[in-house]
Structure 1
């Protein structure tokens, strides 16, 4: 494992005694689809889906480990944990996990086990009545099989819930949720999947008239797709996360290959691996800048994902190479630039930016060791008085 950042933030969570949580907390406000139809809100405020795939969370019989996991992920800035209920699972464990997550300001996205077709509607009504909008439902198993049964379950959840819970469907490779369940009334947002080892967000996402997320992005320390025998790195998962957000996705779901490995020491190390720690910087960046509209037309040269807002734009440069942007899209007499380091969350002042249909920018690469690393360029209307990126 490589050197970790955010150590001071996590020290209390990792060292805290594993005791039962205190009095119930109302938790975070429920998630809603934003008025723009492309993102989420919580309590009316913009919300970045920064998830983690916690598949073993409801299978472990150790409540202390559940609390430890949630403590660390909350300290790392995650906003959602995604998990699955084992076949024949105990719903009281779901209750406990949802309550513990809420105390830490985390939302829980749950995939239930597939019920028998005859039981789907009644199970859905039970789940809707039990959880309301406190849970996000991720239906499907990624095969496109039993779509009618999953749809009946979704319809039942919608019918049983007094409030309007968010729901989605995980499709098979190369498809989106809407390809399988159509424009179902219960489908709140879409998941998209590429073929094996392909990121489909850039290809598919722009065609969807609803919020969307990548169903299965690369996991840290998982076998690499290139066939080289190496595993995916922090750079790989970081590029995937920023590529999702800069293509207009409502967020990103991180995962680690060993997060729920049989060995407890392996699980503990995976929980604080480099890529997981760096997800906090993506949240800090998006908390400090509201650009969410993809603007590939502003990329005049090079490779980058570009987002724009009325008073600023951002470009994620995946491999440390120069780019050119059309900065005339921004208002104001003066423009100011920053380079944001997604490894550390530290912004570097890039000074005055020219107003040009093809303004050139070069990341602050210092030598061969960081020549292929990614950076984020932020260009602000200086009159807007925005704080440095990553700062509120």
Structure 2
């Protein structure tokens, strides 16, 4: 089976003739950087970057398949489609895809084929701030040439669109281009067997303050990072929650067979278990605003911890118990929930007593559940919040 990777798509892509063209009709509210510089907003509301890497989308010659893909990803809760410019540079096709995605509430992040002279002003004039630009071919090379493209986009677009640089394996945007003004948010590539939370924390610590994203984690159904076998839903799910609970502005999902040559394989990949479960992460973050990492509240065990104004959340990646310092949480009474990342269902865990090290144990119904991840949510009862994952 042949799979279309980013490198394969870009290797066959050709730059379009850079002729003047009318910009596509306005779509969704453009994305902006949040006031604290750590995440995204859309129309002033918090926005979770939950992207799918659809590298072959714009090269597809079947409009019905493109529409079906967008329908499914929108229904699964994705918010961004990340793709590459099509072979031959058919910008009318790009216009259509951007408009079709916008109709379904999806933003589009696009990687141009190559840093041709004049490309930046062309893209800036044509798309304004309606597209997010992910510059570079994923090798980490040619950063100066892509910086020139970015400067051209920024000069021609009004207002400025969001832009980033696609880093090479094991690298980050900041490593490649430095603290350039046009870099709206930073990316890194975790890949398989990486300590994702540590990578997020490391990039967040680098000035200037900007959102951080994992550009290419381990894909679903990809070769396992150690030993035989393939990655499964639990692997991509743990990676996604590790990103968000370490303070990333979202997560980028991918499936190894999403753009295989066989249409039946592509169709099955589109609804694989891990992709479907991304909707639960979206529902959880829509129901709770916690985005600030609070690792100091973890007093024992392993968990990523986020704190909000009237609640906190902790993700236990392997179903093991852990302990939290609950003394500083607001309110007279605290209520806990367990949120199941596999089903999106909340489980009432009752009241919580304050202490410097309160133990918590995920609900385990049998041996097959012993290593599965769970999310603990603790709310100030007076805040009147709905169960996690519910509006």
Say if 1:201 and 1:214, in contact at 8 Å, map to a contact too.
no
In 1, Cα distance between the equivalents of 2:364 and 2:31?
39
Describe how 1:273-292 pairs up with structure 2 within 5 A. 273-292=272-291
Mean CA deviation greater in 279-288 or 189-198:
189-198
Measured after TM superposition, the shift of residue 385 of structure 1 is 0.9
Which of 161, 174, 180 is equivalent to 1:165? 161
Q: Residue in 1 aligned with 2:353? A: 354
Say if 2:192 and 2:224, in contact at 8 Å, map to a contact too.
no
Mean CA deviation greater in 240-249 or 323-332:
323-332
In 1, Cα distance between the equivalents of 2:307 and 2:190?
26
Say if 2:220 and 2:255, in contact at 8 Å, map to a contact too.
yes
Say if 2:301 and 2:321, in contact at 8 Å, map to a contact too.
yes
In 2, Cα distance between the equivalents of 1:82 and 1:230?
27
Q: Tell me if 1:254 matches 2:253.
A: yes
Measured after TM superposition, the shift of residue 329 of structure 1 is 2.0
Say if 1:173 and 1:196, in contact at 8 Å, map to a contact too.
no
Say if 1:192 and 1:201, in contact at 8 Å, map to a contact too.
no
Q: Which runs of 5+ in 2 are unaligned?
A: 1-23
Coordinate RMSD, CA, aligned: 1.4
Q: Tell me if 1:150 matches 2:142.
A: no
Say if 1:111 and 1:138, in contact at 8 Å, map to a contact too.
yes
Measured after TM superposition, the shift of residue 263 of structure 1 is 0.4
Describe how 1:188-337 pairs up with structure 2 within 5 A. 188-194=184-190, 197-203=193-199, 204-208=202-206, 209-226=209-226, 228-337=227-336
Measured after TM superposition, the shift of residue 201 of structure 1 is 4.8
Say if 1:147 and 1:180, in contact at 8 Å, map to a contact too.
yes
Say if 1:56 and 1:83, in contact at 8 Å, map to a contact too.
yes
Measured after TM superposition, the shift of residue 328 of structure 1 is 1.1
Cα gap change, 1:323/1:197 in structure 2, threshold over 3 Å: closer, same or farther? closer
Say if 1:336 and 1:351, in contact at 8 Å, map to a contact too.
yes
Measured after TM superposition, the shift of residue 173 of structure 1 is 2.6
Say if 2:335 and 2:378, in contact at 8 Å, map to a contact too.
yes
Per the normalisation by structure 2, the TM-score is 0.91
Say if 2:316 and 2:374, in contact at 8 Å, map to a contact too.
yes
In 2, Cα distance between the equivalents of 1:90 and 1:267?
23
In 2, Cα distance between the equivalents of 1:83 and 1:248?
24
Say if 1:221 and 1:232, in contact at 8 Å, map to a contact too.
yes
3-state DSSP of counterpart to 1:366: coil
Map Cα deviations across residues 76-134 of structure 1 (whole Å, 9 max, x no partner).
Answer: 11000000014532111111100100110100000001134xx1xx2100000100111
3-state DSSP of counterpart to 1:329: coil
Say if 1:26 and 1:103, in contact at 8 Å, map to a contact too.
no
Cα gap change, 1:288/1:78 in structure 2, threshold over 3 Å: closer, same or farther? same
Measured after TM superposition, the shift of residue 64 of structure 1 is 0.9
Say if 1:199 and 1:217, in contact at 8 Å, map to a contact too.
no
In 2, Cα distance between the equivalents of 1:163 and 1:364?
49
In 2, Cα distance between the equivalents of 1:173 and 1:66?
29
Say if 1:205 and 1:247, in contact at 8 Å, map to a contact too.
no
